[in-house]
Structure 1
Amino acid sequence: MSKQHPIISITGSSGAGTTNAKRAFERLFRRLNIQRPAIVEGDSFHRYDRVEMRRRVAAAQSRGEYFSHFAIEANLLEELEALFREYGENGTGRRRHYIHDEEESRKHGGTKPGTFTPWEELPPDTDLLFYEGLHGAVRHGDIDIRRYADLSVGIVPIVNLEWIQKIHRDTAERGYKPADVTATILRRMHDYVHVITPQFSETDINFQRVPTVDTSNPFAARDIPTAEESFVIIRINEPRKFAVDFGYLLSKLRNSFMSRHNSIVIPGRKLELAMEIIFLPILERMMEEKARSRD
């Protein structure tokens, strides 16, 4: 952790909905005149490009084994930890970009979809580092990425909802067949349980969306439950650490209630508003401490 070079880490599985958190932070960056965040995408720390990953998945399946992007071995987590550590110490580090499609290819000089851009140094004098991806709070062996983050956030819908969101996203936006997405979910299950899920015991704040409609069979769901058909449970691990005022949250988020001493339940449609209310004072303190550290 570093007052002069703060790090925010957003962690969520594929299909979890980390985009909501990213949008909330983007609005707060504009509001607080944070013009130079260093953005780091979790996909850019995958170890293999798309072609090589498919080859390794097929090889593992031929041996009766499972291999996925969730796995420790499929990612450059030592390099990710090094980035967090170096940024916290000096405000420097290296990143690259993973190119998902032709649109991103055009933005990054024609780099082929499914591959990575070359490694590059972060721009100088950034305000903070903002990570969004799968492994922002991993602890494994000698790797401890979580300890370098000043704010660690988990986006964790209940698993049936997460699967529904993934199936609908991958079929609608990426052209996959439902059976192929289901196979991917099953292939990732071991790593989901042993790598992804444990992180949410380490995060500072978790946002868990819970639908109020039947999601008993996520593989047959015809649509994604809407925000109006959901509640969100917000668990703050150490409320005193971030001076969270639950009374203020209850007054601003109508129809919310406390379920435990550190957990508040809100209507799903108020998720991004709740994020902004919670994160605004945290970001303000980060920037104030950053300014004082330079004096």
Structure 2
Amino acid sequence: MSKRHPVIAVTGSSGAGTSTVKRAFEHIFHRESIKPVIIEGDSYHRYNRVEMKAAMKKAAEAGNNHFSHFGPEANLFDKIEETFRAYGESGTGKKRYYLHSDEEAAEHNSRLGSALKAGEFTPWEDIPEGTDLLFYEGLHGGVRDGEIDAGRFVDLLIGVVPIVNLEWIQKIHRDKAERGYAPEATVETILRRMPDYVRYITPQFSHTDINFQRVPLVDTSNPFIARDIPTPDESLVIIRFKDPAKFNVDFSYLLAMLQGSFMSRRNDLVVPGGKMGFAMEIILGPIIDRMLAERD
């Protein structure tokens, strides 16, 4: 961990809603004129899109029907840890991009003078000098596997953890809307990933500094037939602080600022779902300000 070069990681499963936290951080960075280096978890996959399909097929032929993006075989866990360590020590390191779409490919091809396609990676390049902090958003910000422990080099580790039925509903609807996947195909993906989900995704949330868990207030008992995603106003968000004293959390202030909020345990704050983004900003903004002030 580093005071001079802070590392912040947001970790959550596919469909968990980590993009909501990312937007909250973007607002904080813009408001406070903070210059982050942003690292996307997908850039640490071991295989590009074509290679991953081939690797999955090969694994299935060998009797492994659970090969997934959640596990170590398909990721570079050591490079995640190394990136966090190197940045914390010196504010430098390497990064690359996974190109999710043709639009992203065109943007980076223009920058690099390359001819990369969607589903491929850009080459590794140096993290630019002069950044204020590293911000990671992806699946494995706090991953542990054998001697690898990425979270030990993170100064602020945040989990985004909707209850699992809601997570599945969000994934099914997102995959259909954004990627054109049939719900049946997404369910197959969920089943294939389950062993790695249990071993490598869920354990991270025991080590996070703060968890944001959205809980719907409507029936989600069968997520595979849900016609829509519960709205924020149909939800509550449980915000769990592992060690409130570590970040000087003022619960009285938060309760006053977040109308309708209450404490369910000594370190669990419950807020209306529609106030999740606001809650993130008033909780995380002061923490980041203190981090940057302590660099000097």
Q: What secondary structure sits across from 1:224 in the alignment? A: coil
- The equivalent position to 1:254 in structure 2, one of 259, 271, 279, is 259
Instruction: Give per-residue Cα distances to partners, 1:169-221, cap 9 Å, x unaligned.
Output: 00011011111101000000000001000000010000000000000110000
Note if 1:99 corresponds to 2:99: yes
Match of 2:17 in 1: 17
Q: What secondary structure sits across from 1:241 in the alignment? A: helix
Match of 1:265 in 2: 270
Match of 2:71 in 1: 71
Once residues 57 and 163 of structure 1 are traced to their aligned partners in structure 2, the CA distance between those partners, rounded to angstroms, is 22
Match of 1:86 in 2: 86
Note if 1:45 corresponds to 2:50: no
Identity %: 63
Distance apart, 1:59 and its partner CA:
2.0
Note if 1:217 corresponds to 2:222: yes
Match of 1:135 in 2: 140
Once residues 201 and 256 of structure 2 are traced to their aligned partners in structure 1, the CA distance between those partners, rounded to angstroms, is 34
Note if 1:60 corresponds to 2:73: no
Q: What secondary structure sits across from 1:44 in the alignment? A: helix
Once residues 193 and 285 of structure 1 are traced to their aligned partners in structure 2, the CA distance between those partners, rounded to angstroms, is 34
Note if 1:275 corresponds to 2:280: yes
Match of 1:125 in 2: 130
Distance apart, 1:287 and its partner CA:
1.1
Once residues 90 and 275 of structure 2 are traced to their aligned partners in structure 1, the CA distance between those partners, rounded to angstroms, is 37
Query: What is the one-letter code of the residue matched to 1:258?
Result: M
Note if 1:113 corresponds to 2:112: no
Once residues 46 and 196 of structure 2 are traced to their aligned partners in structure 1, the CA distance between those partners, rounded to angstroms, is 16
Once residues 182 and 104 of structure 1 are traced to their aligned partners in structure 2, the CA distance between those partners, rounded to angstroms, is 27
The alignment covers a number of residue pairs equal to: 290
Once residues 250 and 294 of structure 2 are traced to their aligned partners in structure 1, the CA distance between those partners, rounded to angstroms, is 20
Once residues 186 and 54 of structure 2 are traced to their aligned partners in structure 1, the CA distance between those partners, rounded to angstroms, is 18
Distance apart, 1:242 and its partner CA:
0.2
Note the 1:189-208 alignment, pairs <5 A.
189-208=194-213
Match of 2:231 in 1: 226
- The equivalent position to 1:161 in structure 2, one of 163, 166, 189, is 166
Once residues 122 and 144 of structure 2 are traced to their aligned partners in structure 1, the CA distance between those partners, rounded to angstroms, is 27
Match of 1:284 in 2: 289
Question: Where do 5+ consecutive residues of structure 2 fail to align?
Answer: 110-114
Instruction: Give per-residue Cα distances to partners, 1:67-101, cap 9 Å, x unaligned.
Output: 00000121111111111101000000001000011
Note if 1:240 corresponds to 2:231: no
What is the CA RMSD across the aligned residues, in angstroms?
0.7
Q: What secondary structure sits across from 1:108 in the alignment? A: helix
Distance apart, 1:10 and its partner CA:
0.3
Q: What secondary structure sits across from 1:9 in the alignment? A: strand
Query: What is the one-letter code of the residue matched to 2:276?
Result: L
Once residues 107 and 261 of structure 1 are traced to their aligned partners in structure 2, the CA distance between those partners, rounded to angstroms, is 47
Q: What secondary structure sits across from 2:180 in the alignment? A: coil
Distance apart, 1:262 and its partner CA:
0.3
Once residues 259 and 62 of structure 2 are traced to their aligned partners in structure 1, the CA distance between those partners, rounded to angstroms, is 54
Once residues 61 and 250 of structure 2 are traced to their aligned partners in structure 1, the CA distance between those partners, rounded to angstroms, is 54
Distance apart, 1:280 and its partner CA:
1.0
Distance apart, 1:63 and its partner CA:
3.1
Query: What is the one-letter code of the residue matched to 1:273?
Result: F
Distance apart, 1:102 and its partner CA:
0.5
